[in-house]
A = this chain, B = another copy of it.
Amino acid sequence: MSGINAVTTNAPKGGVRYERVTVREDGPVGLSPIYTGICGTDRGMVLGHLDFSYNPDKQDFIVMGHESICRVTSADSKTGFREGDIVVPVVRRPGGCINCRTGRQDNCSDGKKHEAGITGMNGFMRESFTDSPEFLVKVKDPALARVGILTEPLKNVVKVFEVFETVSRRSIYFSEDSTYEGKNAYVIGTGAEGFLFSMMASEYGFNTSILNRHPIDENRLKICDAFGMDFVDSSKGIPDENVDLLIDTSGDPATLLNFIRRMNYNSIAVMFGTNGKAPPADFTGKDIDHIVERNISLVGSVDAAKVHYSRALSYLSRWNSMNAGALSSMITDEKKPSDVSVFTERNPESIKIALDWS
C-alpha cells in the first residue's frame, strides 16, 4: 500500500480524515513528528469555519497540523542537522513582501505567505515529511521532547511581548523601581494560549490574573498556583483595580470592551484571539474618550518569527525545570492520530490535546 498516513481536511469546506496520502516533497531534511498538537484553528478548519484556509495547489485536500515536535530521520550533512535531532518546524513560510524577505513573514505586508496545515501548504500531521533547514528550530533540551509541543503556541506569546516592549516605549511604562512590579496583567481565556500568556506575564513580574466567565477545574488551578497567577471567575465580578496589560485570547468583542473600560493610563491591550462568529458589542464614544485621554494602545498580533520559536524553547526549558509537573499537565490528553473524533468532541477540562505519532 503506497503513501503515508496523514490527518487531512478539505479546506475551507471542512471535515477530517485519517487516510493514506501521497505528497511529493524534496526538502534536504527528512522528518517524523513525535507529537502534533491540536488548537482552535484545527477545529475551526474541520468545522468549515475558516474561510481563509485553502488546499495546496493541485490538491483536493490539505494535510493538517501546525503545532508539532519532530525527529530528524535523515539529513544532508550541509544542513546543520543530523539524524535523531529534535526540531520544531516553523509554521509560516515567506512570500515576497518586504517583511517576508527579512525573515519576518509573521508581519507579512501583503498576505502572500503560506501556513503549514492551514493555507496552501501541507501540515505536520503525517508519518513523515521533508523540510529545509532554515525553517527548523533545534530543540537542545532533551527534557522538552513532549512539552516542546507548546513551542508553537508559546512563540506567539514571545512575539506579543516583543510588540509590547516596542509599543510601551511611547511613555515610561515601568514602575518607579524600573520593574513591572505593581503592574496588573489580565489575560482573558483559560485555553493553552491563555495559560502561556499568563506564565509570561508572571515571568515579566506582573501581578497576573487569568480570567474566564465560569469556575475552572482543579488541574487548571494547580497550574495557576505553580506559576503564581490568580484565577478570576469574571461572572462573579472583577477586582476593582486598573489593568496595565490586557491580553485577549477570546476574540469576543463584548469581553474585550468590558475590560478596555478598566484600562489604566499608558496601558496596552493585546488582541490575539479571533472568533469571527462572536456577537458584536457596543463600542461607545466613552470608550474612545477612555482610550484617547489615557494614551492607551491596542495592538493586534498574529504568528511569530523563527527567533521567537528559539526563545520559546528557552522559556519552556526553564519553566519545565522549575515546575515540571505543572507545565506537563498543560498537555491533558494524548490520542492516536487515527482518533479524529478529538477534532469535533470537546472536554472542558482539556487544555492541550497531543497526537502521539511515535
Contact = CB atoms under 8 A, between A and B. Distances in A.
Interface of A: 52, 98-99, 101-104, 106-111, 134, 141, 162-163, 166-167, 169-172, 174-180, 203, 205, 251-253, 256-257, 264-266, 271-302, 305-308, 310, 314, 317-318, 321-322
Nearest to A165: B165
A285 B289 contact: no
A281 B283 contact: yes
Per CB-CB distance, the 9 closest pairs between chain A and chain B, nearest first, are: A321-B321, A103-B178, A278-B285, A107-B171, A291-B300, A318-B318, A178-B305, A283-B283, A280-B282
Given A169-B169, A295-B301, A297-B167, A288 B275 contact: yes
A273 B318 CA distance: 30
Contacts of A162: 170
A274 B288 contact: yes
A277 B289 CA distance: 10
A251 B171 contact: no
Contacts of A257: 283
Q: How many copies does the complex hold?
A: 4
Contact of A172 (B107, B179, B295, B310): B107
Given A107-B266, A109-B265, A179 B306 contact: yes
B178 A170 contact: no
B205 A310 contact: yes
A297 B300 contact: yes
A301 B290 CA distance: 10
A99 B103 CA distance: 12
Contacts of A174: 103, 307
11 contacts: A102-B176, A166-B169, A167-B167, A167-B299, A170-B299, A180-B307, A253-B288, A280-B284, A282-B282, A292-B302, A296-B299
Given A169-B169, A276-B285, 8 more contacts: A98-B176, A108-B265, A167-B297, A177-B307, A178-B308, A271-B288, A279-B285, A282-B282
A181 to B, nearest CB: 8
B178 A99 contact: no
A134 B300 contact: no
Nearest to A133: B177
A72 to B, nearest CB: 17
A159 to B, nearest CB: 9
B314 A203 contact: yes
A300 B294 contact: yes
A308 to B, nearest CB: 8
A104 B265 contact: no
B314 A266 contact: no
Contact of A98 (B172, B264, B287): B172
B265 A295 contact: no
